[in-house]
Amino acid sequence: MNGEWIDIVADSREQADRLAVALREEFDAEIVTDGEHVVRVTPDSETTAKLVNLFHSIGTWLGGCGLASCDVRFGDRSLTLLAPSGDQPGDPTEFLLERTRQLETALTSRIVIEQAKGVLAERHGIGVDEAFERLRRASRDAGRKIHDVAGEVVGRPAVS
């Protein structure tokens, strides 16, 4: 894993802060600001034992926050970790069902976001990249999910 990192996506900045603090005792962990609440962990050459501890810490954090799962990215790859139940690891069947639901939601969300980008680009005479930046900024400023803001944009009639 030389030169690679692991991104852990939290639901809020507070949760990301708590996770980063917990992980910094054993790992190089930092919060990455890119519109999400991401804790980036960069493992060193002693990854095997440390990664076991990392995932144990994530499981403990999930349980402590009352969360059922979290998304973890390995560079450009991603997976969802489920909170352990007592001393048992997360159920693989539940994991696959949750992953399927997440992929369906992501696809639906992506379609709405793409539609909103097109609407904003046309309304304001801007490029789709600028439209996406405006959508992200509005989402961040309102403290809401980008999918929800995009849905409002698509459902809103154009103002002449």
Mean pLDDT of 127-156: 90
- pLDDT tens-digit map of 36-62: 888 888 776 566 466 667 777 887 788
- pLDDT tens-digit map of 84-137: 665 555 555 666 677 677 777 777 778 889 999 999 999 999 999 999 999 999
Phi, psi for residue 75 in degrees, rounded to 5: 60, -115
Rg (CA), the chain: 18
Using CA atoms, how far apart are residues 100 and 111, in angstroms rounded to an integer? 17
- Spell out the domains of the chain, with CATH numbers in brackets: 6-82 (3.30.70), 92-155 (1.10.10.10)
pTM: 0.40
